[in-house]
Structure 1
Amino acid sequence: MNNLTLKLFHTRMCNKDTKERFHPQQDAGFTLIEMLVVVLMIGILAAIAAPGWAAFVNRQRVNKANDAVLAALQAAQREAKNEKLSYSVSFRKNTTTQNVDVAIYRTDPPSATLPWKPLGADVGVSSDKLLLGANLSSENAANSTTNSPVSYPPPSTPTKITFDYMGALPTLPTPNFGTVAAGTEPPGLKIVVAVPSSANSTSASSVKRCVIVKTLLGSILTAKDDKCS
């Protein structure tokens, strides 16, 4: 290799080093400003979506809890028919765990200790975040106030509904399905689960679900929101 060739090669390499030194290739990635913009956008989207997601979770929770209330009443009614014995269902708000508890048991002879268990625990319901309500003043009797409004917690604690050996309501004492104005039908015996109000955790929000025992024969139906007041 002659001197001219060596000089040209040296000049080319020096030029390449100079170009890379003063015009380095940019590394792949984000700038600080781009990262801040992305974080800000995520924060805005989360703020918009969070209330809707929380409302969805609450509705799902209260729906599952209401299904568990219905299942408990139906189970007691079924056991009463199968065994030809009186069966009761009791509900309470556990002041220790804050769960809504349920107990299904033979009415006679009365149990010394009721078999309480968290409502809906077998289907993953977190009932500690729900309110329990009812319009009962005593066993199988709605309160005597017009339209028998629901109370949180129920004035009768634990709240109790009993079925006779035919799965109907016992005739003694006479069941009371509520006091109503003329021309309207009785509200029935209501067991309510509700999402607490954001302003007051001891008051129910508009998101409610309920199970209603409507007739002496033990007819059961479900309702929601304003139908559960």
Structure 2
Amino acid sequence: MGNLTFKLFHTRMCNQNIKKRLHSQQDAGFSLIEVLTVVVMIGVLSAIATPSWFAFVNRQKVNKANDAVLAALQEAQREAKNKKLSYTVSFQKNPTTQNVEVAVYNTNAGSPTWKPLGVDVGVSSDKLLLGANLSGENTANSTTNSPVSYPPSSTPTKITFDYMGALTLPTPNFGTVPTGATEPPGLKIVVAVPSSTNSTLASSVKRCVIVRTLLGSMIAAKGSPNCD
């Protein structure tokens, strides 16, 4: 009798264990509603994060390109001082590759050697806009704006330093003092990301380098009104 009772108890426990295993297998995985909920949440998060990510990438790209502009100007000024010669920085758009290009060279040594702006820091300059408020070498235009556009490749934008690292004479023109300001805008080189609606116009993501004094002091700036 005892053995029969034990066998019945053992059989019942085994059946319960089998039911539990089968039940757990039936409950494994996710329901359709759970999967759809996760997909919707991922879509919402992507919609929120994607614009911020692209904005971050654009800012980084413009920052690097602007650093390259500043480095080129500083290199020209340094070479002018070290070699006691006049050195020029020129910017242009290559009509074939669409790259923004820069050249640092001895002003009196013949044709400059051009290279894409920011190539050393991994920036694709064909996706950027370059502008300046220059109407001539070391001469700001008569307006307070700094139009962000490509200068013609035949007449590249130039800033030249003399053998002491100052801007070359005759006296540079730093532009007209804007209303409400105390000093002229200076010589500006502007880098910007194109507008999403018009690739020839600048977006609000812009940076600039401004040469402010006859001695060639310069600063890096961003946004409006500094880079307008």
| TM surpasses 0.5 | yes
1:43 matched to 2:43: yes
Provide the residue aligned with 1:97 in structure 2: 97
Match of 1:179 among 157, 160, 176: 176
Q: Give me the whole-angstrom Cα distance separating, in 2, the residues matched to 1:24 and 1:221.
A: 68
1:59 matched to 2:59: yes
- Aligned CA distance change for structure 1 residues 29 and 220 (closer, same or farther; 3 Å): same
Q: Give me the whole-angstrom Cα distance separating, in 1, the residues matched to 2:122 and 2:227.
A: 23
Give the alignment of 1:117-132 within 5 angstroms. 117-132=115-130
Is the Cα–Cα contact under 8 Å of residues 131 and 146 in structure 2 kept in the other structure? no
Q: Give me the whole-angstrom Cα distance separating, in 2, the residues matched to 1:75 and 1:169.
A: 14
- Aligned CA distance change for structure 1 residues 75 and 35 (closer, same or farther; 3 Å): same
Q: Give me the whole-angstrom Cα distance separating, in 1, the residues matched to 2:15 and 2:221.
A: 82
Q: Give me the whole-angstrom Cα distance separating, in 2, the residues matched to 1:22 and 1:65.
A: 63
Is the Cα–Cα contact under 8 Å of residues 87 and 106 in structure 1 kept in the other structure? yes
- Aligned CA distance change for structure 1 residues 51 and 24 (closer, same or farther; 3 Å): closer
TM-score (norm 1): 0.84
Match of 1:150 among 147, 152, 167: 147
Which secondary structure does the structure 2 equivalent of 1:77 belong to?
helix
The Cα shift of 1:122 comes to 1.4
The Cα shift of 1:50 comes to 1.1
Deviations 1:111-166 (A, max 9, x none): 2xx2111212212223222210101112111112x325334123684211111111
Q: Give me the whole-angstrom Cα distance separating, in 2, the residues matched to 1:19 and 1:149.
A: 79
Provide the residue aligned with 1:82 in structure 2: 82
Is the Cα–Cα contact under 8 Å of residues 150 and 190 in structure 1 kept in the other structure? no
Which secondary structure does the structure 2 equivalent of 1:82 belong to?
helix
- Aligned CA distance change for structure 1 residues 108 and 37 (closer, same or farther; 3 Å): same
Opposite residue 79 of structure 1, the aligned amino acid is: E
1:228 matched to 2:215: no
The Cα shift of 1:178 comes to 1.2
The Cα shift of 1:32 comes to 2.6
TM-score (norm 2): 0.84
Moved more, 150-159 or 11-20: 11-20
Provide the residue aligned with 2:159 in structure 1: 161
Opposite residue 72 of structure 2, the aligned amino acid is: A
Deviations 1:81-102 (A, max 9, x none): 1011111111122333333211
Deviations 1:146-201 (A, max 9, x none): 325334123684211111111111113x4211133577421111000012112211
Is the Cα–Cα contact under 8 Å of residues 148 and 191 in structure 2 kept in the other structure? no
Aligned residues, how many? 225
Q: Give me the whole-angstrom Cα distance separating, in 1, the residues matched to 2:120 and 2:183.
A: 35
Opposite residue 187 of structure 1, the aligned amino acid is: P
Opposite residue 213 of structure 2, the aligned amino acid is: T
The Cα shift of 1:223 comes to 1.4
Instruction: Could you tell me which runs of 5 or more consecutive residues in structure 2 were left unpaired when the two chains were aligned.
Output: none
- Aligned CA distance change for structure 1 residues 161 and 22 (closer, same or farther; 3 Å): closer
RMSD between superposed Cα atoms in Å:
2.9
Q: Give me the whole-angstrom Cα distance separating, in 2, the residues matched to 1:8 and 1:181.
A: 100
Is the Cα–Cα contact under 8 Å of residues 137 and 155 in structure 1 kept in the other structure? no
- Aligned CA distance change for structure 1 residues 170 and 17 (closer, same or farther; 3 Å): closer
